[in-house]
């Protein structure tokens, strides 16, 4: 029988894959970026994190178990999320003396990703979005998605975008305290409902340079990076918002592929260089370029996060020309697994989670 002293809440959170990449922090303590970014939230029917948060007077210390392994949560970023959420719970407890004092109890968080963790498929985004929302639900916080997004950002920058559905921008902001650095919905998924994303798994292995470590090295050592953050990304953010508004796929694809390549160029310009893409990734790039050449216009857009795995965006009517050809050519190269070749839809947040 369930222990009445244990309070528990479970939630799911989706992955988001950026088409204009976040790479670089201007403030590592608050996790504030050096440039704005823009992403598409993918359906959590396919890729998702499932997280359960519980607390009890019997628990002795905060714990996080991820994919059945104990995690070290002493890091400042996870601690910041827990501290902020407990602070909000204290406000609830101060207002209503009859609610249980959950803020004083240790937390046990158990999480599972149903896709490769730390392999460049945005596990930290879905992971911290789920962690924050599971605890907020456990604490019955009245917080808005915007407020939870601000907290999740401190766990992992990209997580701030996974609290929203559809097409999501994260405006870098200029304030020192990060008060204007926030994610918001540019357009709901229903605005461009035939957008699809194909997930191609080149390797499910944990990367050897985490996103956090990689971007810090880039900020420190790459000159190309300064040009990207100051000139390239600001112009692309405006252009990307425009083409999403116009449902102009050819421009969307051009910007997406260029931005992925520009981001990976800054990784190569880092000392020592950071290699996230591998031979299989480059084979996927070549096939996409060939598909676009044959079609006479861009009908598919590859993008790679900090890892070797490709996400290919396309419009549903081009399913055969894009997904069909990618599968037939790359099928042998990319170790098949349950996610490969799945057309993942862009999605809204499920009801009750907005």
Distances (CA, A) of 228 to 17, 19, 20, 259: 19, 14, 11, 9
Strand order in the sheet with 300-304: 300-304, 310-315, 195-200, 343-345
| Shortest distance in whole angstroms from residue 304 CB to Co ion | 13
* 341 interacts with ligand DP6 by CB under 6 A: no
Q: Which part of the chain contacts ligand DP6 (CB under 6 A), choosing from 85-93, 142-150, 153-161, 346-354?
A: 153-161
CB 134, CB 10: distance < 8 Å: yes
Reduced to 3 states (helix: H, G, I; strand: E, B; else coil), residue 58 is coil
Does position 150 interact with ligand DP6 (CB under 6 A)? The reply is: no
State which residue, 65 or 209, has the beta carbon closest to ligand DP6: 209
What is the H or E stretch that residue 306 is in?
Answer: none
Note whether 89 binds ligand DP6 by CB under 6 A: no
Provide the 8-state DSSP code for 231.
I
- What, of ligand DP6, ligand ADP, Co ion, none, does residue 189 touch, CB below 5 to 8 Å by kind? none
Tell me if 23 sits within 8 A of 263, measured CB to CB.
Answer: yes
Within 25-54, the residues that bind ligand DP6 by CB under 6 A are 31, 37
Q: How far is CA 290 from CA 78, 200, 294, in A?
A: 43, 17, 6
* Residue 78 or 318 having the CB closest to ligand DP6: 78
Q: Is 124 in the site for Co ion (CB under 5 A)?
A: yes
The residue among 23 and 302 lying less far from ligand DP6, judged by its C-beta, is 23
Task: Give the whole-angstrom CA distance, residue 43 versus residue 279.
Answer: 28
Dihedral, CA atoms, 83, 88, 90, 96, nearest 10 degrees? -170
The single residue among 305, 313, 340, 349 that binds ligand ADP, judged by CB under 6 A, is 305
| Residues near Co ion (CB under 5 A) | 124, 211
Binding site for ligand ADP (CB under 6 A): 49, 66, 111, 113, 117-125, 127, 130-131, 156, 210-211, 305-307
Binding site for ligand DP6 (CB under 6 A): 18, 21-23, 31, 37, 122, 124, 156-158, 211-212, 305-306
């Amino acid at each position: 029988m369930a222990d009445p002293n244990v309070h528990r809440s479970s939630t799911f959170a989706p992955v988001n894959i950026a088409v204009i990449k976040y790479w670089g922090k201007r403030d590592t303590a608050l996790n504030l970026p050096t440039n704005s970014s823009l992403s598409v939230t993918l359906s959590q029917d396919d890729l998702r994190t499932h997280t359960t948060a519980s607390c009890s007077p019997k628990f002795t210390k905060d714990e996080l178990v991820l994919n059945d392994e104990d995690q070290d949560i002493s890091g400042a970023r996870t601690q910041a999320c827990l501290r902020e959420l407990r602070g909000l719970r204290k406000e609830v407890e101060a207002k209503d003396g009859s609610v249980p004092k959950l803020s004083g109890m240790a937390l046990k968080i158990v999480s599972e990703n149903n896709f490769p963790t730390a392999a460049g498929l945005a596990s930290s985004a879905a992971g911290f979005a789920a962690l924050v929302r599971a605890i907020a639900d456990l604490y019955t916080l009245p917080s808005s998605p915007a407020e939870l997004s601000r907290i999740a950002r401190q766990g992992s920058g990209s997580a701030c975008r996974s609290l929203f559905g559809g097409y999501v921008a994260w405006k870098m902001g200029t304030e020192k305290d990060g008060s204007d650095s926030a994610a918001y919905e540019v357009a709901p998924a229903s605005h461009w409902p035939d957008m699809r994303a194909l997930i191609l798994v080149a390797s499910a292995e944990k990367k050897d340079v985490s996103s956090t470590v990689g971007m810090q090295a880039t900020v420190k050592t790459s000159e190309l990076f300064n040009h990207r953050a100051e000139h390239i990304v600001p112009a692309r953010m405006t252009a990307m918002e425009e083409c999403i508004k116009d449902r102009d796929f050819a421009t969307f694809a051009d910007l997406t592929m260029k931005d992925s390549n520009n981001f990976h160029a800054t990784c190569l310009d880092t000392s020592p260089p950071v290699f996230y893409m591998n031979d299989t990734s480059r084979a996927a790039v070549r096939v996409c370029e060939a598909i676009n050449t044959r079609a006479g216009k861009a009908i598919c857009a590859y993008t790679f996060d900090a890892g070797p795995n490709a996400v290919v965006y396309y419009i549903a009517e081009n399913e055969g020309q894009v997904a069909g050809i990618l599968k037939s050519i790359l099928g042998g190269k990319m170790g098949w697994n349950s996610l490969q070749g799945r057309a993942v839809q862009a999605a809204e947040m499920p009801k009750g989670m907005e």
